[in-house]
């Protein structure tokens, strides 16, 4: 089927996750939205409409989240250019993905493991509801606790789960994830490929190759790719008043309500110093190096050094390349171009006097 995923007009509300990627490449559950469509349709799905095949292509909004039960209805609605009814899923804001993540993990486990057999679990792993645990090839796990009584647990290829880890589903770890000793993870949490995880995590999504490797709390939060939270970094996800939390989005004149539980939303290539404490409802843009004497601001614009200065573009690119090199990867020309475009969007007339010497 010839469809394309259209993110026109959607990127602003999905700041900062959509700054360096197409909306369909945002993860909800185990898979990204694009990967879900490709598994369901059995073919590659593009994100640009080809003029020569204009009449034969179906435009699907890139923030519509399909599953095995809904994708045919979504395609029918897209053909008819109708809006999405309430019983179907879409993500307008980053925190919508967190709200849907529990069901999305369950849907993706069914999609990925149907008619397949899990690898066996070694005897020194304590399991609750083992029938809801699926382990891919190459997983290394020892002396851990896996509790799938409240939702499935999925461990992707070559995941390493160290001693003393406690996981409560729904939970999913992508290929090559490392979960360090003593980590405590609650559902509904999704960890993308190549991440290193430690400390306490609850109801969060982390895209590929990011690190939350040390003690500290991350709850109701969404981290982009190639992020790094320094040791002791924690985020608040509930106000002391238990009131609704509001996020500040650059594309919106007014703050947007996200509910009573809302943690950290962090863009790609951003980092925090050791012992950073993020307030409830904090958004950090792309390529920020966050450090401060007290609480950082609740909105940290893209390419921020500390909390006040502009991160020099050449240094930001150099440091992004360094982080990729730590995981044996190379910063591509395409990624450099996207970083340059993003920098010009947020700092079109950057004043060199405000840039630190680093």
Residue 289 forms beta bridges with which residues?
Answer: 271, 305
Q: What is the pLDDT along the chain (358 residues), one digit of tens a residue?
A: 688 899 999 999 999 999 999 999 999 999 999 999 999 999 988 877 554 455 668 899 999 999 999 999 999 999 998 999 989 999 999 999 999 999 999 999 999 999 999 999 988 999 999 999 999 999 999 999 999 999 999 999 999 999 999 999 999 999 999 999 999 999 899 999 999 999 999 999 999 999 999 999 999 999 999 999 999 999 999 999 999 999 999 999 899 999 999 999 999 999 999 999 999 999 999 999 999 988 999 999 999 999 999 999 999 999 999 999 999 999 999 999 999 999 998 877 765 444 544 4
Give the angle subtended at the CA of 152 by the CAs of 214 and 105, to the nearest 5°: 80
pLDDT at residue number 52: 47
Q: Tell me the domains of the chain and their CATH numbers.
A: 3-92 (no CATH), 126-310 (2.160.10.10)
pLDDT at 46: 83
Q: Return the beta strands (E) in 91-240 as ranges.
A: 126-128, 133-135, 140-141, 145-147, 153-155, 160-161, 166-168, 171-173, 178-179, 184-186, 189-191, 196-197, 200-202, 205-206, 211-212, 217-219, 222-223, 228-229, 234-235
In this prediction, residue 354 carries a pLDDT of 47
Question: What is the model's pTM?
Answer: 0.94
pLDDT of amino acid 217: 97
Contact 263, 280 (CB under 8 A): yes
Q: Is the peptide bond before 77 cis (omega within 30 degrees of 0)?
A: no
Largest distance between two CA atoms of the chain:
61
Residue 176: what pLDDT?
A: 98
């Amino acid at each position: 089927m010839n469809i394309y995923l259209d993110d026109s007009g959607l990127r602003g509300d999905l700041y900062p996750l959509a700054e360096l990627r197409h909306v369909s490449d945002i993860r909800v559950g185990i898979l990204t939205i694009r990967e879900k469509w490709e598994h369901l349709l059995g073919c590659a799905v593009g994100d640009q409409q080809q003029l020569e095949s204009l009449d034969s292509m179906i435009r699907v909004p890139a923030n519509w989240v399909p599953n095995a039960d809904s994708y045919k209805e979504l395609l029918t609605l897209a053909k008819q250019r109708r809006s999405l009814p309430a019983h179907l899923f879409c993500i307008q804001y980053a925190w919508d993905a967190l709200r849907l993540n529990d069901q999305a993990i369950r849907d993706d486990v069914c999609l990925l493991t149907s008619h397949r057999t899990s690898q066996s679990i070694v005897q020194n792993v304590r399991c609750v509801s083992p029938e809801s645990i699926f382990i891919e090839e190459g997983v290394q796990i020892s002396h851990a606790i896996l509790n799938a009584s409240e939702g499935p647990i999925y461990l992707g290829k070559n995941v390493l789960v160290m001693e003393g880890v406690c996981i409560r589903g729904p939970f999913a770890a992508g290929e090559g994830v490392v979960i360090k000793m003593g980590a405590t993870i609650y559902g509904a949490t999704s960890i993308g490929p190549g991440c290193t995880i430690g400390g306490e995590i609850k109801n969060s999504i982390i895209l590929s190759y990011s690190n939350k490797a040390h003690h500290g709390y991350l709850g109701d939060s969404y981290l982009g790719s190639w992020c790094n939270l320094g040791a002791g970094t924690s985020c608040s996800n509930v106000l002391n008043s238990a009131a609704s939390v509001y996020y500040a989005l650059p594309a919106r004149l007014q703050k947007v309500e996200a509910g009573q539980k809302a943690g950290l939303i962090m863009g790609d290539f951003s980092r925090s110093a050791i012992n950073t404490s993020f307030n409830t409802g904090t958004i950090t843009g792309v390529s920020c190096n966050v450090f401060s004497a007290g609480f950082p601001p609740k909105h940290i614009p893209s390419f921020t050094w500390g909390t006040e200065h502009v991160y020099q573009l050449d240094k930001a690119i150099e440091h992004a390349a360094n982080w990729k090199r730590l995981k044996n990867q190379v910063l591509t020309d395409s990624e450099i171009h996207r970083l340059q475009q993003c920098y010009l969007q947020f700092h079109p007339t950057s004043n060199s006097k405000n840039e630190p010497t680093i």
